[in-house]
Amino acid sequence: MTGRITALTVVTLVTTFLIISCGKKEHRNISVAGSTTIDPFMRKAADSFSRKHNVTIDISAVGSKAGIDALLRGECDIAMSSMEMLPEQIAMAKQKGINIKPFLLGYDIIVPIVHPKNPVSDISFSDLKEVFAKSKLRWTALGGADTLINVVDRTDASGTYAVWHHYVAPATINEDAYTIERSNSTVLAYVSSHTNAIGYVSAAYLNPEVKALKLDGIAISEGDSLLSEYHLKRPLFLYIDEEKFDETVKLFIIYMIISDAGKGLLRESGFFYNSWAGQYHPELP
Protein backbone atom coordinates (compact mmCIF):
# COMPACT_ATOMS: atom_id res chain seq x y z
CA MET A 1 0.00 0.00 0.00
CA THR A 2 2.75 2.44 0.85
CA GLY A 3 5.60 0.81 -1.07
CA ARG A 4 8.45 2.61 -2.76
CA ILE A 5 7.92 4.50 -5.98
CA THR A 6 8.49 2.22 -8.98
CA ALA A 7 9.29 2.74 -12.65
CA LEU A 8 5.79 1.42 -13.39
CA THR A 9 4.30 4.31 -11.40
CA VAL A 10 6.18 6.84 -13.53
CA VAL A 11 5.22 5.08 -16.79
CA THR A 12 1.58 5.03 -15.67
CA LEU A 13 1.67 8.75 -14.94
CA VAL A 14 3.21 9.60 -18.30
CA THR A 15 0.62 7.46 -20.10
CA THR A 16 -2.13 9.16 -18.11
CA PHE A 17 -0.75 12.56 -19.05
CA LEU A 18 -0.95 11.72 -22.76
CA ILE A 19 -4.54 10.57 -22.38
CA ILE A 20 -5.98 13.35 -20.24
CA SER A 21 -4.12 16.45 -21.38
CA CYS A 22 -6.43 16.89 -24.41
CA GLY A 23 -9.92 18.35 -24.38
CA LYS A 24 -11.82 20.70 -22.09
CA LYS A 25 -12.39 19.81 -18.47
CA GLU A 26 -15.07 20.97 -16.07
CA HIS A 27 -13.91 23.22 -13.25
CA ARG A 28 -12.42 21.17 -10.42
CA ASN A 29 -11.40 22.02 -6.88
CA ILE A 30 -8.40 20.18 -5.44
CA SER A 31 -7.70 20.31 -1.71
CA VAL A 32 -4.17 19.77 -0.40
CA ALA A 33 -3.19 19.49 3.27
CA GLY A 34 -0.01 18.74 5.18
CA SER A 35 3.64 19.69 5.41
CA THR A 36 4.67 23.26 6.17
CA THR A 37 8.00 22.39 4.53
CA ILE A 38 6.39 21.61 1.17
CA ASP A 39 3.83 24.44 1.46
CA PRO A 40 5.83 27.21 -0.34
CA PHE A 41 6.62 24.93 -3.30
CA MET A 42 3.01 23.68 -3.40
CA ARG A 43 1.67 27.23 -3.60
CA LYS A 44 3.97 28.06 -6.51
CA ALA A 45 3.05 24.84 -8.32
CA ALA A 46 -0.66 25.36 -7.65
CA ASP A 47 -0.56 28.93 -8.97
CA SER A 48 1.30 27.88 -12.12
CA PHE A 49 -0.93 24.86 -12.73
CA SER A 50 -4.18 26.75 -12.07
CA ARG A 51 -3.35 29.36 -14.67
CA LYS A 52 -3.15 26.66 -17.34
CA HIS A 53 -6.06 24.48 -16.21
CA ASN A 54 -9.64 25.01 -15.10
CA VAL A 55 -8.95 24.19 -11.48
CA THR A 56 -8.84 25.82 -8.04
CA ILE A 57 -6.32 24.40 -5.56
CA ASP A 58 -6.86 25.01 -1.84
CA ILE A 59 -3.81 24.45 0.38
CA SER A 60 -3.72 24.01 4.15
CA ALA A 61 -0.29 23.76 5.81
CA VAL A 62 -1.25 21.89 8.97
CA GLY A 63 1.81 19.61 9.31
CA SER A 64 2.64 16.27 7.70
CA LYS A 65 0.89 14.05 10.24
CA ALA A 66 -2.26 16.16 10.25
CA GLY A 67 -2.29 16.20 6.44
CA ILE A 68 -2.19 12.40 6.22
CA ASP A 69 -4.86 12.18 8.93
CA ALA A 70 -7.03 14.55 6.85
CA LEU A 71 -6.56 12.32 3.80
CA LEU A 72 -7.65 9.29 5.84
CA ARG A 73 -10.77 11.19 6.94
CA GLY A 74 -11.55 12.09 3.32
CA GLU A 75 -11.01 15.80 3.95
CA CYS A 76 -8.40 16.41 1.23
CA ASP A 77 -7.39 15.06 -2.18
CA ILE A 78 -3.62 15.19 -1.64
CA ALA A 79 -1.57 14.96 1.55
CA MET A 80 1.86 16.56 1.31
CA SER A 81 4.30 15.05 3.77
CA SER A 82 7.94 15.30 4.76
CA MET A 83 7.70 11.91 6.49
CA GLU A 84 6.42 8.48 5.61
CA MET A 85 3.08 7.35 6.96
CA LEU A 86 3.22 6.27 10.59
CA PRO A 87 2.39 2.65 11.48
CA GLU A 88 -0.85 3.72 13.14
CA GLN A 89 -1.86 5.63 10.00
CA ILE A 90 -1.14 2.59 7.82
CA ALA A 91 -3.27 0.51 10.20
CA MET A 92 -6.07 3.06 10.04
CA ALA A 93 -6.01 3.07 6.23
CA LYS A 94 -6.21 -0.73 6.23
CA GLN A 95 -9.07 -0.69 8.73
CA LYS A 96 -11.01 1.76 6.54
CA GLY A 97 -10.19 -0.12 3.33
CA ILE A 98 -8.35 2.89 1.90
CA ASN A 99 -5.57 2.17 -0.59
CA ILE A 100 -3.01 4.96 -0.21
CA LYS A 101 -0.58 5.57 -3.06
CA PRO A 102 2.66 7.50 -2.37
CA PHE A 103 4.49 9.65 -4.90
CA LEU A 104 8.07 10.74 -4.24
CA LEU A 105 8.16 14.48 -4.88
CA GLY A 106 11.83 15.12 -4.10
CA TYR A 107 14.27 15.55 -1.23
CA ASP A 108 14.85 18.12 1.48
CA ILE A 109 17.78 18.87 3.78
CA ILE A 110 17.28 19.87 7.43
CA VAL A 111 19.65 22.50 8.76
CA PRO A 112 20.54 23.61 12.31
CA ILE A 113 20.33 27.40 12.58
CA VAL A 114 21.48 30.12 15.01
CA HIS A 115 21.37 33.91 15.22
CA PRO A 116 23.81 35.62 12.81
CA LYS A 117 25.64 37.22 15.76
CA ASN A 118 26.35 33.86 17.35
CA PRO A 119 30.12 33.23 16.95
CA VAL A 120 29.56 29.47 16.52
CA SER A 121 29.57 28.52 12.83
CA ASP A 122 30.28 24.78 12.87
CA ILE A 123 28.91 22.01 15.07
CA SER A 124 29.67 18.32 15.19
CA PHE A 125 26.82 15.86 14.85
CA SER A 126 27.60 14.45 18.30
CA ASP A 127 27.55 17.94 19.88
CA LEU A 128 24.26 18.71 18.15
CA LYS A 129 22.73 15.59 19.66
CA GLU A 130 24.00 16.58 23.12
CA VAL A 131 22.54 20.08 22.78
CA PHE A 132 19.10 18.70 21.93
CA ALA A 133 19.39 16.09 24.68
CA LYS A 134 20.10 18.95 27.10
CA SER A 135 23.40 17.46 28.18
CA LYS A 136 25.28 20.50 26.81
CA LEU A 137 23.63 23.57 28.27
CA ARG A 138 25.89 26.57 27.58
CA TRP A 139 27.33 27.99 24.37
CA THR A 140 30.83 28.01 25.92
CA ALA A 141 30.91 24.22 25.42
CA LEU A 142 30.75 24.91 21.67
CA GLY A 143 33.10 27.88 21.54
CA GLY A 144 30.42 30.51 22.01
CA ALA A 145 29.39 33.04 24.64
CA ASP A 146 28.83 32.19 28.29
CA THR A 147 25.04 31.98 27.99
CA LEU A 148 22.47 29.22 28.22
CA ILE A 149 21.56 27.55 24.94
CA ASN A 150 17.92 28.24 24.12
CA VAL A 151 16.86 25.07 22.26
CA VAL A 152 13.99 25.54 19.82
CA ASP A 153 11.95 22.49 18.84
CA ARG A 154 8.79 21.75 16.83
CA THR A 155 5.51 20.02 17.65
CA ASP A 156 5.08 16.33 16.87
CA ALA A 157 2.62 17.17 14.06
CA SER A 158 5.63 18.11 11.97
CA GLY A 159 7.42 15.77 9.58
CA THR A 160 10.59 17.77 10.23
CA TYR A 161 10.17 17.00 13.94
CA ALA A 162 9.82 13.28 13.17
CA VAL A 163 13.09 13.14 11.23
CA TRP A 164 14.95 15.34 13.72
CA HIS A 165 13.82 13.22 16.65
CA HIS A 166 14.78 10.05 14.82
CA TYR A 167 18.37 11.17 14.24
CA VAL A 168 19.18 14.04 16.61
CA ALA A 169 16.86 14.62 19.56
CA PRO A 170 15.47 12.18 22.14
CA ALA A 171 12.23 10.43 21.24
CA THR A 172 10.43 12.33 23.99
CA ILE A 173 11.32 15.60 25.69
CA ASN A 174 10.14 17.73 28.57
CA GLU A 175 8.61 20.56 26.54
CA ASP A 176 8.97 22.95 29.47
CA ALA A 177 12.75 22.85 28.90
CA TYR A 178 12.45 23.81 25.22
CA THR A 179 10.98 26.63 23.17
CA ILE A 180 8.30 25.04 20.99
CA GLU A 181 7.35 26.52 17.62
CA ARG A 182 4.75 25.24 15.15
CA SER A 183 6.39 25.75 11.76
CA ASN A 184 9.61 26.43 9.86
CA SER A 185 8.61 30.09 9.60
CA THR A 186 8.04 30.56 13.32
CA VAL A 187 11.34 28.81 14.14
CA LEU A 188 13.10 31.23 11.77
CA ALA A 189 11.37 34.22 13.32
CA TYR A 190 12.27 33.14 16.86
CA VAL A 191 15.92 32.29 16.18
CA SER A 192 16.43 35.52 14.20
CA SER A 193 15.45 37.53 17.29
CA HIS A 194 17.22 35.51 20.03
CA THR A 195 21.01 35.47 19.99
CA ASN A 196 21.30 32.41 22.26
CA ALA A 197 18.81 30.23 20.36
CA ILE A 198 19.39 27.18 18.17
CA GLY A 199 16.72 25.55 16.03
CA TYR A 200 16.31 23.58 12.82
CA VAL A 201 14.49 24.23 9.55
CA SER A 202 14.18 22.95 6.03
CA ALA A 203 17.00 24.34 3.87
CA ALA A 204 14.28 25.71 1.60
CA TYR A 205 13.38 28.24 4.32
CA LEU A 206 16.85 29.66 4.95
CA ASN A 207 17.21 33.44 4.77
CA PRO A 208 19.84 36.03 5.77
CA GLU A 209 18.15 36.64 9.13
CA VAL A 210 19.62 33.38 10.51
CA LYS A 211 22.92 31.53 10.15
CA ALA A 212 23.02 27.94 8.95
CA LEU A 213 25.56 25.96 10.96
CA LYS A 214 28.03 23.73 9.20
CA LEU A 215 27.46 20.16 10.33
CA ASP A 216 30.74 18.25 10.76
CA GLY A 217 32.27 20.85 8.43
CA ILE A 218 29.69 20.42 5.65
CA ALA A 219 28.03 23.66 4.62
CA ILE A 220 24.77 24.13 2.77
CA SER A 221 25.50 24.91 -0.86
CA GLU A 222 24.02 24.43 -4.30
CA GLY A 223 26.03 21.23 -4.78
CA ASP A 224 23.91 18.12 -5.25
CA SER A 225 26.67 16.21 -3.44
CA LEU A 226 24.90 17.23 -0.24
CA LEU A 227 22.50 14.36 -0.76
CA SER A 228 25.29 11.84 -0.33
CA GLU A 229 27.33 13.73 2.28
CA TYR A 230 24.88 15.54 4.54
CA HIS A 231 23.57 13.86 7.71
CA LEU A 232 20.00 15.17 7.71
CA LYS A 233 18.08 14.63 4.51
CA ARG A 234 14.62 13.24 3.97
CA PRO A 235 12.21 12.41 1.15
CA LEU A 236 9.14 14.48 0.43
CA PHE A 237 5.93 12.64 -0.45
CA LEU A 238 2.55 13.28 -1.96
CA TYR A 239 -0.11 10.80 -0.79
CA ILE A 240 -3.46 10.14 -2.47
CA ASP A 241 -6.43 7.84 -1.93
CA GLU A 242 -6.46 5.67 -5.07
CA GLU A 243 -10.27 5.58 -5.10
CA LYS A 244 -10.38 9.40 -5.43
CA PHE A 245 -7.44 9.67 -7.85
CA ASP A 246 -9.31 11.41 -10.67
CA GLU A 247 -7.90 12.81 -13.91
CA THR A 248 -7.32 16.35 -12.59
CA VAL A 249 -5.42 15.17 -9.51
CA LYS A 250 -3.33 12.88 -11.73
CA LEU A 251 -2.51 15.74 -14.07
CA PHE A 252 -1.47 17.97 -11.14
CA ILE A 253 0.84 15.28 -9.72
CA ILE A 254 2.33 14.68 -13.17
CA TYR A 255 2.99 18.42 -13.42
CA MET A 256 4.81 18.48 -10.07
CA ILE A 257 7.02 15.39 -10.34
CA ILE A 258 7.62 14.79 -14.04
CA SER A 259 7.35 18.03 -16.01
CA ASP A 260 10.38 20.28 -16.46
CA ALA A 261 8.33 23.18 -15.09
CA GLY A 262 7.51 21.29 -11.89
CA LYS A 263 11.08 20.11 -11.37
CA GLY A 264 12.26 23.67 -11.97
CA LEU A 265 9.91 24.99 -9.28
CA LEU A 266 11.07 22.25 -6.90
CA ARG A 267 14.73 23.21 -7.35
CA GLU A 268 13.86 26.90 -7.12
CA SER A 269 12.19 26.14 -3.80
CA GLY A 270 15.44 24.72 -2.41
CA PHE A 271 14.65 21.03 -2.83
CA PHE A 272 16.28 18.26 -4.87
CA TYR A 273 14.15 16.43 -7.41
CA ASN A 274 13.67 12.72 -7.26
CA SER A 275 16.42 11.29 -9.46
CA TRP A 276 17.86 10.01 -6.16
CA ALA A 277 14.80 7.80 -5.49
CA GLY A 278 15.55 5.11 -2.96
CA GLN A 279 18.90 6.54 -1.84
CA TYR A 280 17.82 7.91 1.54
CA HIS A 281 18.57 6.13 4.77
CA PRO A 282 16.50 2.89 5.11
CA GLU A 283 15.76 3.66 8.76
CA LEU A 284 14.18 7.03 7.98
CA PRO A 285 10.78 7.18 9.70
Per-residue pLDDT tens over the stretch 64-104: 999 999 999 999 999 999 888 999 999 999 999 999 999 99
Least confident of 81-95, 175-189, 261-275: 261-275
Any idea what the CATH number is for the domain that residue 169 is in? 3.40.190.10
Q: How far apart are CA 247 and CA 19, in angstroms?
A: 9
Q: Are residues 103 and 157 in the same domain?
A: no
Q: Are residues 121 and 79 in the same domain?
A: no
Burial tier of 109 (Cβ tally within 10 Å: 0-12, 13-18, 19+): buried
Number of structural domains the chain divides into: 2
Domain, as residue range, for 212 = 109-229
Q: Are residues 207 and 181 in the same domain?
A: yes
pLDDT, average across residues 9-33:
63
Q: What pLDDT does residue 9 have?
A: 54
- Global pTM reads 0.71
> Residue 70: which residues within 8 A CB-CB, separation 6 or more?
33, 34, 60, 62, 76, 79
Segment (H or E) for 202: strand 197-202
Mean residue pLDDT of the chain comes to 86
Q: What pLDDT does residue 232 have?
A: 83
pLDDT, average across residues 105-121:
94
Q: What is the dihedral of CA 61, 62, 67, 69, to 10 degrees?
A: -170
Q: How confident is the model at residue 28 (pLDDT cuts 50, 70, 90)?
A: confident
The residue ranges of DSSP E strands in 66-119, in sequence order, are 78-81, 100-114
> Residue 7: which residues within 8 A CB-CB, separation 6 or more?
none
- pLDDT 10s digits, 223-245: 555 556 677 888 899 999 999 89
Q: What b/e string do you get for 21-60 counting C-beta neighbours within 10 Å, with b at 16 or more?
A: eeeeeeebebebbbbbbbbbbbebbbebbeeebebebebb
285 lies in some domain: no
Report the alpha-carbon angle 61-26-11, nearest 5. Answer: 70
DSSP code at position 5: P
Q: What pLDDT does residue 172 have?
A: 87
37 lies in some domain: yes
Q: What pLDDT does residue 25 have?
A: 57
Q: How confident is the model at residue 201 (pLDDT cuts 50, 70, 90)?
A: very high
Q: Are residues 89 and 160 in the same domain?
A: no
Is the pLDDT score of 8 beyond 90? no
